[in-house]
Structure 1
Amino acid sequence: MKRIGFSGTLDPITNGHMWVIGEARSIADEVIVFLSQNSTKQPRFSAEERRAIVLESCAERQWNNVQVLIVKSDYTARVARKHGVDYLIRGIRTTADFDYENLIQQTNVEVIGGAKTLFVMPPRDLGSVSSSFVKALEGPVGWNWTTRKFVPAPAYRAWILSWLHKEWQALFPGEAAGQWFAKLTGADAYGGATRHYHNLDHLVHGLAEIRAWAANTGAAERDADLMRAAFWFHDAHYGHEPAAVSNEEASAQLWLGSGLEADAGRAEEVATLIRATDHLQAGPIAHPLKDALLGVDLAILGQDEEVYGHYARGIRAEYGHVADERYSEQRNRVLEHLRGKASAGTLYADPWFAEQYNEPAIANMTWELGGNAGA
């Protein structure tokens, strides 16, 4: 077969969609993805954004024989025939899928004279994966770690950037603020190629933790917003080489220079919280929200083993320039210090975080000290 088509809204494209496209490539020389632009739907991404995500996802797998066409105000099966495609390919996951797709197939062929449909059945691990399924995961603490299992990397990055942009706009509206969003999520900050842990995932996780903390403790929205602003900037600067000031102080100065907060007193409060995320601070930093923000920053230590393992490997990658023996020595020293604090009940000074994460953190750090993180 020379050419086969695959159609869908693909908002976002999932690993299930990618599997179907892969099956199409196995039986045809060329695959055309017909991307539906439906005016009755309100997708997260525009048609052009979805097209770019699909192309990037295929390019990552070196699928050079896949092209993407946007279908506007027409039947996909009819457009397919116009482009020399006699067959579309669709995945069937359930009997409900079959009933729906059978009706569409009959309409395509018998009513509009369009392309016929071939049906394939995805493997068991992709049987429940759909765009709706992925969208339903969004929001709770850890949603990003779960979502990344079900979508290709370009779709995942676009999804969390979209989520982060909504969070940012709620906190810092305005065109000038948008420039700072681009700066913080770009290559010189959390979006940098060397940011294997202190990256966009770290931002998503922390902001979700703040939301959960506020909801469960009845915290004032003002306090939650102070913590959000501090968390956005707390690792904006993350250098590995010795410097005149700490990463936290450099990040605090970046915040103060941003002009995002017109109230000088409030701006200084956020700067104080950013400085408080320095776990090796020379002197005590006082602020009523310090314990809560440190809880947010250290919450990763109490996640499930899979997420913690990803974190531990990410930290190692960020310090890839350090020789194994020296890294193990320094990392173990830090872990022993933190585990000691957790065992003493002082790692999470905020009660809510202590209840959630103290015991899992002890187990995770013990696991890593046993040499398991590199496995």
Structure 2
Amino acid sequence: MKAIAFSGTLDPITNGHMWVIGEARALADEVIVFLSENPFKKPLFPAEDRQRIVERSVAERGWTNVRVIVVRGDYTARAAKRHGIDYLIRGIRNTADFDYENLIQQANVDVLHGAKTIFVMPPRDLGSVSSSFVRGLQGPVGWHWMTRQFIPGPAYQEWVLAWLRTEWRALWPGEDQWFERLTGPTAYGGPDRPYHNLDHLVHGLTEIRIWAENTGSTPEDMAVLKKAFWFHDAVYIHGPQEVSNEEASARLWLGSGLPDARADEVAALIRATDHFQTEAINHPLKPAMLGADLAILGQDPQQYDSYAAAIRQEYAVVPDPVYREHRTRALRTLRDKAARAELFTDAWFASLYSERARENLERELHSLE
């Protein structure tokens, strides 16, 4: 077969969609992805962004025989015929999918005189994956870890950036130059940040929102915490330096020119994230700030292990014996704080994460000793 088409809104494209495209490549020399735009749906991404995401996703897999075309104001079966394509390919996850797609297929052929449809069944692990399912995961703590399992890397990256941009503009509308800087390669978007990266931002900002919703915090206090979290790891340099990363990040914030009547409070909370030198810093929001920053310690063992592995990657240049010595020392300090119920001093974070954090720290220590 010379060409075959796959169509959908792909908002976002999922691993299930990618599987169907892969099957299409086995059937034809060229695959055309018709990306439909439905005026009655509010998309997560505009059509042009979805086109770019699909193109990046197929390029990531080395698929050079896939093209993406946005279809506006037409049926994809009819658009396929205009491009000389006689067959569409669709994934069928269950009997309900088949009944629906069969009706569409009949209308395509009998009413529109468009392309016919070939149905394929995805493997069991992709049987429940759809764009609507993935979009429904957004919100709770850890939503980004969940969605990452079901969508290709480029879709995940675009989603995280879009989410972060919305968060940023709620705090600093019209100040996107600093958003680009903080999410770019010299800060959280840098390739040398396996852990202190955009994912860490998403996690911490989500933790702060959930904390505020459950503790009756004021919107103003939540905003101060979020602003501090945006900047708290803006500077993250390994090796000797004149001031700590936290101090350098606080100074970057104070010199940013971003408007805030509580700028000094934000700076104090940034400095407070130096977890081994925080005793001199007092602020009523400090326990919540540290709770959000350390919340990773209280996640499930799989997520904690991913965090621990990412920290090791960040110090990849450090010889293993030296790393084990310094990491062990840091973990013992944190474990001892956990044993004294001092690791999470905010009641909300303590109730969620204290016990699991102690278990995770003990387990990593055992692996290092």
**Corresponding residue for 2:282?**
286
Aligned length: 368
With normalisation by structure 1, the TM-score equals 0.96
Hey, what's the Cα distance between the residues in 2 that align with 1:282 and 1:49?
43
The residue correspondences of 1:126-275 to structure 2 (distance < 5 A) are 126-174=126-174, 177-263=175-261, 266-275=262-271
- Shifted more, 278-287 versus 117-126: the winner is 278-287
Structure 2 unaligned segments of length 5 or more: list them. Answer: none
Q: Which amino acid aligns with 2:72?
A: K
Aligned-residue offset at 1:217: 0.9
Structure 1 unaligned segments of length 5 or more: list them. Answer: none
Hey, what's the Cα distance between the residues in 2 that align with 1:229 and 1:9?
35
**Corresponding residue for 2:86?**
86
With normalisation by structure 2, the TM-score equals 0.98
Q: Secondary structure at the match of 1:258?
A: coil
Match of 2:363 among 343, 361, 367: 367
Q: What are the Cα deviations for residues 162-187 of structure 1, in whole angstroms up to 9, with x where unaligned?
A: 1111111111111xx11111111111
Identity within the alignment, %: 65
**Corresponding residue for 1:339?**
335
Q: Which amino acid aligns with 1:304?
A: D
Aligned-residue offset at 1:282: 6.9
Contact 2:182–2:234 (CA under 8 A) maintained in structure 1: yes
Hey, what's the Cα distance between the residues in 1 that align with 2:252 and 2:335?
32
Runs of 4+ in 1 over 4 A off after TM superposition: none
Hey, what's the Cα distance between the residues in 1 that align with 2:69 and 2:363?
49
**Corresponding residue for 1:298?**
294
Q: Secondary structure at the match of 1:34?
A: strand
Hey, what's the Cα distance between the residues in 2 that align with 1:283 and 1:135?
42
Match of 1:324 among 320, 323, 334: 320
Q: What are the Cα deviations for residues 278-303 of structure 1, in whole angstroms up to 9, with x where unaligned?
A: 11227511111111100110000000
Hey, what's the Cα distance between the residues in 2 that align with 1:61 and 1:282?
46
- Shifted more, 317-326 versus 276-285: the winner is 276-285
**Corresponding residue for 2:25?**
25
Hey, what's the Cα distance between the residues in 2 that align with 1:246 and 1:291?
20
Hey, what's the Cα distance between the residues in 2 that align with 1:260 and 1:202?
22
Aligned-residue offset at 1:84: 1.9
Hey, what's the Cα distance between the residues in 1 that align with 2:266 and 2:133?
37
Hey, what's the Cα distance between the residues in 2 that align with 1:166 and 1:271?
23
- Shifted more, 110-119 versus 34-43: the winner is 34-43
RMSD of aligned alpha carbons: 1.1
**Corresponding residue for 1:122?**
122
Hey, what's the Cα distance between the residues in 2 that align with 1:223 and 1:194?
32
